[in-house]
Homo-oligomer: A and B are copies of this chain.
Amino acid sequence: MDDLTGRVRAFAEERDWQQFHTPKNLAMALAGEVGELIAEFQWLTPEQSAAVMSDPDAGSRVRAEIGDVMIYLTRLADVLGIDLVEAALTKLEDSARRYPVDQARGSASKR
């Protein structure tokens, strides 16, 4: 993960793209990539979506889109000085308190 952050940063710096990489712009780029990812699933049934990786073409497109999303998320977090894994773990602990196992079990009320 640290290696990825460093490589994404180097990629941007070598191309002198830091000037474009404000948090505002990177959040937009992230949203654009998530839009491409969601387009892969939009006409699939839930069942078809669960089997998407067994289709070589769709599977490789999904993998590439997920890679793109991760690149921009990594870059955005780096520019903001946020540790991505730590931010996720902190949020997961918050969610564990908000959705206690005994109350949340099997309910879609939130997720």
**A interface residues, Cβ below 8 angstroms from B:** 1, 3-4, 7-8, 11, 14-17, 19-20, 22-25, 27-47, 49-50, 52-53, 62-64, 66-71, 73-74, 76-77, 79-82, 84-85, 87-92, 94-96, 99, 101, 104-108, 111
Contact = CB atoms under 8 A, between A and B. Distances in A.
6 contacts: A1-B1, A15-B104, A17-B104, A22-B49, A68-B91, A71-B91
Given A85-B4, A106-B15, A71 B92 contact: yes
A107 B99 CA distance: 36
B41 A66 contact: no
Given A63-B82, A87-B66, A27 B38 contact: yes
